[in-house]
Structure 1
Amino acid sequence: MALRPVQVNIKAVDPSAVGGFWAEALGWSLHEPGVTAYVGPGGDFAWPHPDFLGIDFVPVPEPKSAAKNRVHLDLATTSAAHQAELVARLEALGATRAQVGQSDDVPWTVLADPEGNEFCVLEPREVHRDTGPVATVLVDCVDPRAMARFWGEAVDWTLHEVTDEHAVLRSAAGVGPYLEFLRTPGAKTVPDRVHLDLLPYPGDDKEAEVDRLRALGATDLDLGQGDVPWTVLADPEGHEFCVLALS
């Protein structure tokens, strides 16, 4: 049995507008099959994508709080010129500069999307040459080693590196973004605005997978979701995630 990350889920007051921003930012397409807005590569709606994590924007009434998101996206660039051009283009689309405690001399640029979700435009890094536009899904945490133990068992991605400061996973096929857990001061204080959605493989039993996650240390979470086909859980540090049902 195994679970695969299939999308990043972002809560939004206006899914169409913020989804449109991210579609332009990544050079992907915006699809609105129902109440959510989905951004993914290619012109046709393909879900789940075999190589990339799409982004699903889910409507909520509450705007983002002033607290920094504990999960954010890092965007890849290929050169210093590309980084500068991308930052300028994103600002023209509605992104704003964000201060999350970084020093003035870091080589990446911290921005926020039109609803205030922070993200980084990274300087060119060889490790990200084949990730596509999203280099990393980065998760703030207290204990990267503990996160590596849980997530390394929770999903079928390969653990590439683990230290006291960070843990890094990626699809076993070596495609798409990395998932990084970065040691960060401060504990989680507000519900996650951004989280991962996981999906069983065809033929696997969703409830058996959920039970397996509970045995690994996940806990059930009631966000007022009611009777829905997905299961909302939290990892050992309280980061929310969902296990989706096979359609």
Structure 2
Amino acid sequence: MPLRPVQVNIKAVDVSALGRFWAEALGWGLASPGVTTYVGPADGLVWPEPLGLGIDLVPVPEPKTPTKNRLHLDLATTSTTHQAELVARLRSLGATPVDVGQVDVPWTVLADPEGNEFCVLEPREIYLDNGPIAAVVIDCVDPRAMARFWGTATDWTVHEVADDHASSRSAKGVGPYLEFLRTPDAKTVLDRIHLDLLPYPDDDKAAEVDRLRALGATDLDVGQGDVPWTCLKDPEAHEFCVLALS
């Protein structure tokens, strides 16, 4: 059966510091079981998180380039007061305002302490039950094609498809949306942030990877060597990983 998105993977020079930022930003807990740092809902740090997506921070030596990430998080708020308070708190934690060409918009664009862009949205009814993360947003050239690929690759339900945007969400109706926004520029550098997918316990990982290749995914070599996960690119070259069942 299709794979389940389980976490947002963020490369970081200092995984401990960036993990603390995101844990405090989201009101979640923090765990460091090995070389990575995991951030998830504070009531248990269960993996995989059954009601949404966790954040896994992976150490890398290279800092983020000035190029805007093509995947970012949108944070939810419940009122204009909450939005202002959250922005102020995030800035006190080390977030900084950033201009990505947004002009006059009701949301606030910030960057985390390592320069990864994210948005603090104005209150929107659609996101009120999502938890702190409203959406994982992917810039793309063709939202319709991305919705077809990711809607078939994963077990999430496609909710909306248009020329300029598309969205999907867990079939359980919980957690953040996965949204595709049309942008005129094509992808040029490796993503600093990507999604990790996981097979279900009775599924065969190799067969799932082959299925993704048949859908248009291609193999990716980032120097990962002999690892239990598989690195792939979607049809617009966004990197993602298929994790092994532990």
**TM-score bucket (shorter structure):** over 0.9
Q: Does 1:148 find its partner at 2:147?
A: yes
Who is 2:22 aligned against? 22
CA distance in 2, matches of 1:138, 1:45: 24
CA distance in 2: counterparts of 1:80 and 1:157, whole angstroms: 30
Amino acid at match of 1:188: K
Corresponding letter in the other structure for 2:158: L
Q: 1:35 and 2:27 equivalent?
A: no
Residue 48 (1) aligns with residue 48 (2): yes
Does residue 1:75 correspond to 2:54, yes or no?
Answer: no
Offset at 1:43? 4.2
Amino acid at match of 2:123: P
**Distance between the aligned counterparts of 1:7 and 1:40, measured in 2?**
9
Structure 2 letter corresponding to 1:225: Q
CA RMSD of the aligned region, Å? 0.5
Structure 2, unpaired ranges of 5+: none
In 2, Cα distance between equivalents of 1:142 and 1:16:
34
2:166 corresponds in structure 1 to 167
Deviation at 1:45, TM superposition (A): 2.8
Report % sequence identity: 78
Residue ranges of structure 1 left out of the alignment (5+ in a row): none
Counterpart Cα distance in 2 of 1:62 and 1:182 = 27
State the Cα distance separating 1:52 from its structure 2 match: 1.5
| Structure 1 residue aligned with 2:234 | 235
If the length of structure 2 is used for normalisation, what is the TM-score? 0.99
One-letter code aligned to 1:23: A
Give the Cα separation in 2 of the matches to 1:11 and 1:201.
Answer: 25
Match of 1:116 in 2: 115
SS of 2:17's equivalent?
helix
Q: Which shows bigger deviation, 40-49 or 84-93? A: 40-49
In 2, the alpha carbon distance for the partners of 1:237 and 1:112 equals: 24
Pair 1:137 & 2:151 matched: no
1:126 is matched with 125
- Tell me the distance in 1 between the aligned counterparts of 2:45 and 2:145: 36
Q: Distance in 2 between matches of 1:21 and 1:189?
A: 28
Where 1:87 maps in the other structure, the secondary structure is helix
Give the match's secondary structure for 1:66. coil
Distance 2:70 2:41 in 1: 25
5 Å-filtered alignment, 1:49-64, equals 49-64=49-64
- 1:8 deviates by 0.1
In structure 1, the residue matched to 2:102 is 102
1:208 paired residue number: 207
Match of 2:90 in 1: 90
- The two structures have a TM-score, normalised by structure 1, of 0.99
Question: What per-residue deviation string (whole Å, max 9, x for no partner) do you get for residues 135-177 of structure 1?
Answer: 0000000000100110110000000000000110000000000
State the 4+ residue runs in structure 1 displaced beyond 6 angstroms. Answer: none
Q: Which amino acid aligns with 2:19?
A: G
- Secondary structure of the residue that 1:5 maps to in structure 2? strand
Whole-angstrom CA distance in 2 between matches of 1:85 and 1:212: 45
- Mapped partners of 2:7, 2:16: distance in 1: 17
- Determine the C-alpha separation between the residues in 2 that align with 1:33 and 1:25: 21
Partners of 2:212 and 2:234 in 1: CA distance: 9
Matched to 1:12, the amino acid is A
Quick one: distance in 1 between partners of 2:186 and 2:31? 35
**Which residue in the other structure is 1:244 paired with?**
243
